[in-house]
Every structure is written in structure tokens, then in C-alpha cells.
Structure 1
Amino acid sequence: MSTATLTSKGQMTLPKEVRDDLNLKPGDKIEFVKVHGHYELRARTRNIADFAGVLGEPPNGRRLSVKDMDDAIAEAVVEEYRRSSS
């Protein structure tokens, strides 16, 4: 088990073992999430820009605008409502 000491300013240094295990580098973000009365430490080492192009090109070669996506979502919601009301 690794231990960190809290300073008078509320700061701590993560032990090297923890940084290495989470693959943390200077400037990376760490999220503290309360789960069932205790906290989980989660590395937030990626930002949304890192995912650009991860899915490749659209299957039909056509990129969708935000309006196209909004329209498709609205159609799906209406269809789901119709199915659940029948």
C-alpha cells in the first residue's frame, strides 16, 4: 500500500508507484469520485481531442452536421415513444 501526506495547504504528492501504475505524467488530471462512502482515484489522462478520428471515416463517406444528429435523435425518440405507447 502506498501513502501520501497532506500538506498544510491541502496538497499531496502521489507516490511514484501510484503515478507509474496509473501512467500519470506532469499536467495530467486526477478525478476523485465518491462511491458508496469512499473515494476512488481516477486518472484523466486523455482529453476529447485525443479521440479525433478514432472511428475513421463514416461508412457511407458522409459526415453529419449537428442538425443531422439532432434530427436523427428526435426521430429515434418519437419512434421509441410510439413503440412504448402501443
Structure 2
Amino acid sequence: MTTLTITAKGQITLKRELLQHLALRPGDKVEVTPAPGGRLTLAPQRIARTGRIEDAFGALHRPGQKALSIEEMNEVIARAWAGEVEP
């Protein structure tokens, strides 16, 4: 059993062996669910792999970054092929 300490901000840090057990890396997310008896269950949040292209939509989104239209993407690609811009 591992004991964790709660910080003044109400945060905990999982020990390396727990992260390895759950196969978690920096940036991964976990789901925490209340359980009977004042317990919590913690599980890695897994991305559904259905094999559909729609599942990838938004995966590369960066807040504050403008999305390009297909026409804008084609223009950038054409300019790069023509040597007008660095790829």
C-alpha cells in the first residue's frame, strides 16, 4: 500500500511505481470515481480506438490557434512545393 500526502492546494502526486502500474505518462488523464465507504477508484482514461477517422478530429487542436480551411491548406502546400515558403 502506498500513502500519499495532500498539499495545501488539495493536490496529490502519484508515486512513480503507481504511474508505471497504470501505464500513465505526463499529460495523460485519469478518471476518479467515488466508491462506497469513502473510497475512490482511479483508472486511466482510455481513448476509444474504433478505427474511425472521426475519432481523430480535434486531436491536434491548440487553443488560440486558427484552423485553416482546405483552400488555405492547399495554398500553403502549393507554395511550399514551389519553394516559396519553408515547409
TM-score by length of 1: 0.52
Q: Could you tell me how far apart the structure 1 residues matched to 2:16 and 2:22 are?
A: 10
Query: Which amino acid is the alignment partner of residue 9 of structure 1?
Result: K
Q: Which residue of 2 aligns with 1:71?
A: none
In the alignment, structure 2 segments of 5+ residues that lack a partner are 53-87
Q: Could you tell me how far apart the structure 2 residues matched to 1:35 and 1:10 are?
A: 19
Q: Could you tell me how far apart the structure 1 residues matched to 2:5 and 2:14 are?
A: 9
- The count of corresponding residues between Structure 1 and Structure 2 is 51
Q: Which residue of 2 aligns with 1:25?
A: 25
Identity across aligned pairs (percent)? 41
* Shift >6 Å, 4+ stretches: none
Structure with the higher helix share, 1 or 2: 1
**Deviation of 1:28 (Å):** 0.8
Q: Could you tell me how far apart the structure 2 residues matched to 1:15 and 1:3 are?
A: 9
In the alignment, structure 1 segments of 5+ residues that lack a partner are 55-86
TM-score by length of 2: 0.51
Question: Over aligned residues, Cα RMSD in angstroms?
Answer: 1.7
Task: Kindly report which structure 2 residues correspond to 1:1-86, keeping only aligned pairs within 5 A, or say none.
Answer: 1-37=1-37, 38-44=39-45, 46-48=46-48, 51-53=49-51
